[in-house]
Amino acid sequence: MDNKGPSAAGRLVVAGVPVRLPPLQEYWDCHQCAQCCYGTEILLDEEDLAKLQRQGWDRHPDYRGIRLIRRVGLFGGRYRLAHRPDGTCVFLLPDGLCRIHRDFGLEAKPKLCQAFPFQTVPEPDGAMVVVRRSCPSAAAGLGRPVLLDRADLQQALQARPPAPPLRQPPEIVPGHRLAWPDTLRVTDWVERLFRDEHYPLVRRAVHGTIFAELLGQCRPARLNRADLAELLDLLAQEAIREAGRYFQERRAPDRPAQMLFRRIAADYVRLHPRIRLRRCWRHRWWWIRTAWRLGRGHGQLPPLEEQWPGASLEALDRALGPLSPEVLRPLEKYFTAAACCRAYSLLTRPGWTLVEAIRALVMEYPVGMWLVRFSAPDQPPTVQDVIEAVVALDRGERLAALAGGAHRQRIGLLARLGEIPRLIAWYGR
C-alpha cells in the first residue's frame, strides 16, 4: 500500500488514489454477530484461491468431504466461498469467529472478508471510504470513531485498494451530462435536503423526491454554471413548498402503486437479518406463499418457524404513530450517510441517470418503514427493529437485482404515476 499517512486535509494515499472520510463521524467495531457470514457471496480471486490452497483445508479432518469453494454460474470462471445449508459461510464457527482468522490470522482471509465493512466509493479526484451498514454494529453506531489512522481501516484498504478515480459523471437526465463540478452541485443539494434537521426524516425524503422530479423536467446541460446554481436553488425551494400537501391529508397510494411497491418490498424480505432461508423445500415453500400473497395484496403472510411470527398485510400498512428520535436514529443516520457518500449514484447503479438514482434512494424510506413494521408487526417498533431494517436496506444497495432493469422500471413507473411522495408520506405515518 502506497500509504503516505493522513494529510493536513484528512486524507491518505492508497495505491496512488487519495482517500478521505465522509463529512460525518461514523462509529464501528466488530462484535462477532456473524451477520456478514450469512448469505454473503464472497468472490475469490487467484490470490485468495492460492491462500486457501496453502492452508490445506482439503486435508483437515474437520473439512473432509466438505466443499469449500463453488463456481459462480454454470460457465463462469469465478469462484466463491461455499455455504452450509443454512446459508452461513462454511468457515463460520459457533462462537461467531472465522476459522481461517482464528487459525491463520486476518491476512489469511479472502480480501472481501478482510475489508468488510469498509468500502470505497470512487470520486472524480479520489475515493471516499464508508462503513457498510449491513453490519448491525455499523447500523447501530457501536464502537470507536472511524478514523483514517485506524489499523483495521488501513488493513482493509490494503486488502482492497480503491478503484481509480471516476473519469465521467453520470447523466443527470437522458442525453444531458454535466461537468463534474456541476454534477456534484446536484448531489450536494441532495445531501443538504437529507441533512436539513428543520424537518423530520419523512419530510426530507419527500423533499428529495420532488427535487428529483423537478430536475427531471429540466435540460440542465443547456445552462451555464451560474444559471445552474440558481436553478438548483429554486428547485430545492419549490420542493420544500410543495411537500406540505402530501402531509395535509395522507392518502393511501393507488392500487397499481401499491402492487409495484409490494413487489419492491418483497425483494428486501429475503435480505432481512431475521429471515434466514435454508436450501430446503419447507423454506422455499414459505417464500413462494409469501411472494404470492404480497402480490395479491391481502391476506396473512405465513410464519417462518423460530424466525418470524407471520403477519397480516394490514399490519404491515398500519399507522405507527409518533416514534421517538432515539428509535428512528439508525434510519436517519443511514440516509444521512447515503446522501453524503453518494454511493447511490457513483457506485451501486452504473448506467442509471442521477435523477433515477435519487428516486431509488428516496424509495428506500417507505421500504425501510415497511420493514420496520415487518420486524414488529403487532407491537411498537424498537431501536433493534429499525436497525434490522437498515441492515436490509444496505444489503439491497449492493444487490445486483436492485440495480437491474426490473427494479429501475418499477421505480420509473411509480415516478410517472406521481406516487413516490405519497408512498413516503403513507408509510411514514
381 grid coordinates = 417498533
Predicted local distance difference test score (pLDDT) of residue 239: 97
Predicted local distance difference test score (pLDDT) of residue 58: 86
| Total number of residues shown for the chain | 429
Predicted local distance difference test score (pLDDT) of residue 223: 82
Q: Is 418 left (phi over 0), alpha (psi -120 to 50) or beta?
A: left
Predicted local distance difference test score (pLDDT) of residue 40: 84
Q: Which helix (H) or strand (E) holds 300?
A: strand 300-301
Predicted local distance difference test score (pLDDT) of residue 5: 42
User: Do residues 99 and 319 touch, judged by C-beta distance below 8 A?
Assistant: no
Predicted local distance difference test score (pLDDT) of residue 8: 34
- The whole-angstrom separation of Cα 61 and Cα 67 is 13
User: Do residues 200 and 185 touch, judged by C-beta distance below 8 A?
Assistant: no
- The whole-angstrom separation of Cα 182 and Cα 170 is 11
- The whole-angstrom separation of Cα 282 and Cα 194 is 42
- The whole-angstrom separation of Cα 276 and Cα 304 is 9
Output the pTM of the full model: 0.93
Q: Give, for all 429 residues of the chain, the pLDDT tens digit.
A: 444 444 334 678 999 999 999 999 999 999 989 899 998 889 999 999 999 999 999 889 988 888 999 888 766 678 999 998 888 999 999 888 899 999 999 999 999 999 999 999 999 999 999 999 999 999 999 999 999 999 999 999 999 999 999 999 999 999 999 999 999 999 999 999 999 999 999 999 999 999 999 999 988 877 888 999 999 999 999 999 999 999 998 899 999 999 999 999 999 999 999 998 888 899 999 999 999 999 888 889 999 988 999 999 999 999 998 999 999 999 999 999 999 999 999 888 989 999 999 999 999 999 999 999 999 998 999 999 999 999 999 999 888 888 889 999 999 999 999 999 999 999 999
Predicted local distance difference test score (pLDDT) of residue 9: 44
Q: For 379, how many CA atoms within 13 A lie in the half-sphere containing its CB?
A: 8
Strands (E), 23-172: 27-28, 43-44, 69-71, 79-81, 118-123, 126-131, 144-145
Predicted local distance difference test score (pLDDT) of residue 10: 67
77 grid coordinates = 470462471
Task: Tell me phi and psi for residue 119, to 5 degrees.
Answer: -145, 145
